[in-house]
Amino acid sequence: MDIKRRQFLKIAGLSTIAGLGAPAAFNLLLKGETSPVLHASSGGGAEASHEAAPTGVRLAMVIDQRVFDAKEGLAQKCTTACHTVHNVPNFGNKKDEIKWIFEVPFEKAFTNKSHYHKNEHLHDSSFLVLCNHCDNPPCVRACPTKATYKRKDGIVAMDYHRCIGCRFCMAACPYGMRSFNWRDPRPFIDKVTYNKEFPTRMRGVVEKCNFCVDRLARNLQPACVEACGNTGAMIFGDINDSHSEISKVLAENFTIQRKPALGTNPSVFYIV
Amino acid sequence: MYDGKYIIPGLIVFVALATFPIWKNMGNAGVAPNPEKPKGVTKCVEPAQYMRTSHMKLLDDWRDEVLRDGDRTPIEVDGVKYEKSLMNGCMKCHEDKKKFCDECHTYASVKPYCWDCHFLPKETF
């Protein structure tokens, strides 16, 4: 057979293009649409919509800032309760700090709200912030090992066994609610008050609030909510259940969320 | 071969020395691990043979069920309910890690990192 090098290359090139292009073209023409981009994510449809899940349990929290403003020290009490129950270490320095729930001023909590001429009580009060347990959590999408995942009841939880400490989730979280264990936390846990029923973490994993999944399983309220007692400063419950207390509170009050424009759909609401 | 009269005996001596531990322990399996069984309880959540070979698989399954599916239904054996938990389940009966876990883990030279995070019973750290 008499075939020139140039001809051979031409035919080979055309065949390659046809072979690669044909299936894609057929898919496109037969289905009449482009195939959806498959996210290599563990969000399980969380990213499908920016609307809140209309069905099923969705656990959420309302923080009533009016009560926290009126009762000095209550927020600190919540933080202490949480950090004790979950064996959160205290390194005693800002750099290594691990925080599950903590206080920040208005402008840090609500960065997209106007701070121009804000009223006096917003100026002075500090807001409790914690993981928002977003309905559309960016951290879950970022995690390469599925160490952080969204449960059916809306809680964004973590499996520390799987965490490789890449900190993608920390970069992904628009609220900065995740902390990294730069050091072994064990020696920095209060040896008097620590909770023997709950594990600690190890060096090199990220941690955050878990909405007290372990306590909820035992029919207890989250530790911070429990610390508030009957002050009504924090209300926890299922917002998809129209008869729950939290649904009533949400229906009766004007609430704000942190950075709602991002479409993460936070589950923590604030009454300011 | 040059200097064969030195090299070959040298090699023989070297091989003999290097394999000395094998010769010495020939036919001797060493001290078999004997993990201490909990007192007053005779039945574990699974048969002993399964626990011996696959307790790590069981723990992994428990972890995934509890954390991911939120399924914390306790395992019931002879009317006693056991939590699906290493700290709050297993270690309630197997109280002594040194006499139970370490016994085999040391023998098999495996170093699980359970205790980096989980507490030992009665641990003071």
pLDDT reported for residue A178: 96
Would you call A40 an interface residue with chain B, using a CB distance cutoff of 8 Å?
no
A159 touches chain B (CB under 8 A): yes
Q: B-side interface with A, Cβ within 8 Å?
A: 63, 67-68, 70, 72, 87-88, 113, 116-119, 123-125
Return the higher-pLDDT residue of B46 and A119.
Answer: B46
pLDDT band of B117, cuts 50, 70, 90: very high
Nearest chain A CA: its distance from B17 CA (Å): 42
Amino acid A25: pLDDT: 81
Using alpha carbons only, what angle is made at residue A263 by residues A252 and A139, rounded to the nearest 5 degrees? 115
Chain A interface test: which of B61, B62, B66, B67 (most A C-beta within 10 Å): B67
Distance from CA of B118 to the nearest CA of A (A): 5
The most confident of the ranges A35-39, A106-110, B14-18 is B14-18
Question: How confident is the model over A110-168, as pLDDT tens digits?
Answer: 988 877 777 777 777 899 999 999 999 999 999 999 999 999 999 999 999 999 999 99
Any CB–CB contact under 8 A between A57 and chain B?
no
From chain B, pick out residues whose CB is under 8 angstroms from the CB of A152. 70
Average pLDDT, chain A: 88
Helix (H) or strand (E) holding B75: strand B75-77
The pTM (predicted TM-score) of the whole model is 0.77
For residue range A202-232, list pLDDT tens digits in order.
Answer: 999 999 999 999 999 999 999 999 999 889 9
- State the pLDDT at residue A120: 76
Residues in chain A with CB shorter than 8 Å from the CB of B117 are 160, 199-202
pLDDT at residue B29 tops 80? no
CB A127 within 8 A of CB A109: yes
Q: Nearest CB to B87: which of A160, A191, A197?
A: A197
Strands (E), chain A: 59-64, 101-105, 126-130, 148-150, 156-158, 179-180, 206-207, 234-238, 268-271
Please name the member of B70, B88, B113 whose beta carbon is closest to the beta carbon of A197: B88
Instruction: List the structure tokens of A206.
Output: 């990220």
User: In terms of C-beta density within 10 A (0-12 exposed, 13-18 middle, 19 or more buried), how is residue B19 classed?
Assistant: exposed
Pairs of CB atoms within 8 A across A/B: 35
**Residue of A172, A164, A205, A162 whose CA lies nearest to A46:** A172
Average pLDDT, stretch A91-105? 93
pLDDT at A41: 43
Name chain B contacts of A149, Cβ cutoff 8 Å: 68
**Residue A42 confidence class, pLDDT cut points 50, 70, 90:** very low
What ipTM does this complex have? 0.78
Which residue out of A159, A184, A193 would a mutagenesis test of the B interface target, given it has the greatest number of B Cβ atoms within 10 Å? A159
Across-strand partners of A234? A63
Q: Long-range contacts made by residues A219-227, C-beta under 8 angstroms, separation at least 24?
A: A222/A61, A222/A82, A223/A78, A223/A81, A223/A82, A223/A84, A223/A85, A223/A86, A224/A78, A224/A79, A224/A81, A224/A82, A224/A101, A224/A128, A224/A130, A225/A61, A226/A81, A227/A74, A227/A77, A227/A78, A227/A80, A227/A81, A227/A82
A128 and A272 in contact (C-beta within 8 Å)? no
**Mean pLDDT of the region A198-204:** 94
What pLDDT is recorded for position A48?
Answer: 45
Hey, is the C-beta of A188 within 8 angstroms of any chain B C-beta? no
Q: Is B104 left (phi over 0), alpha (psi -120 to 50) or beta?
A: alpha
CB-nearest to B116 from A149, A191, A202 is A202
